[in-house]
């Protein structure tokens, strides 16, 4: 997967992919030093509705935050790390990837 390779090239270790719990799903959980990265991966081949980044709605962000809180309760060692929510958006399979650092924040 392109997204995984990009993260690994940037020095991140991938801790989990497609982490699922009753609160939602986290596409990629990665770590580099003291930074814990929660990554939402989006793909859209059509841009009529604002492209892939626009598909990360408020409801989707809320599910990601709830799932992250669940993860941090289950793995307290991760809670000590700095948390950041990023998005990797692809316009087409095999196409260019846009990495949006700090795509949103937990509220």
Of the candidates 34, 38, 30, 39, which has an alpha carbon nearest to the alpha carbon of residue 81? 34
- Other C-beta atoms closer than 10 Å to the C-beta of 68 total 22
DSSP-assigned letters across all residues of 45-70: S--TTSHHHHTS-HHHHHHHHHHHHH
How many domains, in total, are found in the chain? 1
Q: How far from the centroid of its chain's Cα atoms is residue 21's Cα?
A: 15
14-34 pLDDT tens trace: 999 999 999 999 999 999 999
CATH number of residue 42's parent domain: 3.40.1350.10
Its domain, for residue 84, covers 2-104
Copy the structure tokens of residue 51: 């492209």
Closest CA to 106 of 77, 68, 71, 75: 68
pLDDT by residue (tens digit) across 46-87? 656 665 567 788 999 999 999 999 999 999 999 999 999 999
């Amino acid at each position: 997967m392109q997204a995984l390779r990009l993260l690994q090239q940037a020095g991140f270790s991938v801790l989990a992919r497609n982490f699922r719990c009753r609160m939602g799903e986290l596409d990629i959980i990665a770590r580099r030093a003291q930074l814990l990265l929660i990554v939402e991966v989006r793909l859209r081949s059509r841009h009529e509705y604002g492209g892939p980044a626009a598909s990360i709605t408020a409801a989707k962000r809320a599910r990601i935050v709830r799932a992250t809180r669940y993860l941090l309760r289950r793995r307290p060692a991760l809670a000590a790390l700095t948390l950041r929510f990023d998005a990797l958006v692809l316009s087409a399979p095999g196409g260019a990837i846009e990495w949006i650092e700090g795509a949103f924040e937990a509220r």
